[in-house]
Amino acid sequence: MIRFEDVTFAYEKGKPVLSAVSFEIGKGETVGLIGANGAGKSTVMKLLLGLAGPGAGAGSGSGAGNTKNTGSGRILVEGIEVLPKNLPQIRRKLGFVLQNSDNQMFMPTVFEDMMFGLLNYGMSRMEAERRVDEVLQDLGQEKLKYLYNHKISGGEKRMAAVATVLAMDPEVLLMDEPTSALDPYNRRIIIRTIGALKQTKIITSHDLDMIYDTCGRVILLSDGKIAADGPAEDILMDKKLLEANRMELPLRFATCV
Ligand SMILES: Nc1ncnc2c1ncn2[C@@H]1O[C@H](COP(=O)(O)OP(=O)(O)O)[C@@H](O)[C@H]1O
Ligand SMILES: [Mg+2]
């Protein structure tokens, strides 16, 4: 479903952010992408979405792109390479919650934001409204519907971004720090929601308890390289490995002394 083939990438020449990253994620897998601040997690997401890399930010497929970006290797989504000319096709498959959800809201209210994407994909108004209500209800977020995007809290925005993405029912879900800024109640809702979705998912987080609850597999990034890739239990219970990479055991495995 998703393939990174020997991907090396730098935002600025001479400062590699990812080095020879290769992995493959199968349909229906839920993978936790973990690593210290600056390890390259968000960059992996951005490259998948074509928000960094060749042509990103240029607004055209001229190939000139952001000339500062340098990179090599290939990234494929269901066999289609992430290249400017393929982005519309690829983005239709991917739903994403960015680390900063502020950049994801365009309309005045949560309701209009959720409707926008659905109407754009050709759903009728009635169908779209039914879908919006259904998703908000599933997430227990009915109260968000008519709130103004510029007035809601960080956590509410995060839930609204998640609802907006889920409404589109994408084949692959990319969630960058989905539980950051959430209260324990909404964090629990996110964990339950992720658990119930059959889609292929990549989730980044510093909340390793959440990763343990939701992901069968973990990829650990360290300074832009894959330091480990394997079953979540193995990696998340490996105190030495986590500490060597500036992380700590999930709270449930941290024993009190
Ligand atoms: N737009 C950018 N321009 C230049 N450097 C960047 C940019 N975005 C991120 N970086 C750098 O790339 C590295 C990896 O960042 P990022 O992928 O956001 O890490 P993470 O999400 O794991 O915290 C960091 O050193 C960061 O400073
Ligand atoms: Mg990040």
Q: Which residue has the tokens 């108004």?
A: 125
Return the residue whose CA atom lies nearest to atom 4 of ligand 1.
Answer: 11
Report the domain count for the chain.
1
DSSP string, 193-242: HHHH--SEEEEE-S-HHHHHHH-SEEEEEETTEEEEEEEHHHHHT-HHHH
User: Tokens at residue 37, please?
Assistant: 């601040």
Residue 147 within a domain: yes
Tell me which residue has its CA closest to atom 1 in ligand 1. Answer: 11
Report the side by side order of strands in the sheet with 80-81: 16-25, 2-10, 70-77, 80-81
Residue 56 has pLDDT above 80, yes or no: no
Residue from 7, 9, 19, 43 to probe ligand 1 pocket by mutation (most atoms less than 8 Å from CB): 43
Does residue 255 form part of some domain?
no
CATH number, domain of 45, equals 3.40.50.300
Distance CA 98, CA 136 (A): 19
Does any domain span residue 10? yes
| Segment 74-130, tens digit of pLDDT | 999 999 999 999 999 999 999 999 877 667 778 899 999 999 999 998 999 999 999
The pLDDT value recorded for residue 64 is 40
Does the residue 256 lie in any domain?
no
Pocket of ligand 1 (CB under 6 A): 11-12, 17, 35, 37-43
* 210-226 pLDDT, tens digit each: 999 999 999 999 999 99
Residue 25 lies in a domain: yes
Separation of alpha carbons 245 and 239, rounded Å: 10
| pLDDT class of 61 with cuts at 50, 70, 90 | very low
Among the bound ligands, name the one nearest to the CA of residue 16. Answer: 1
Ligand nearest to the CA of 220: 1
* Nearest partner of 154 among 117, 179, 190, 184, judged by Cα: 179
User: What is residue 62's predicted lDDT score, i.e. its pLDDT?
Assistant: 37
Residue nearest to atom 13 of ligand 1 (CA): 38
CA of 5 to the centre of ligand 1 (A): 20
Question: Which amino acid is residue 109, in one-letter code?
Answer: T
Q: Can you give the residue range of the structural domain that contains 62?
A: 2-250
pLDDT band (50, 70, 90) for residue 55: low
Q: Is residue 110 part of a domain?
A: yes
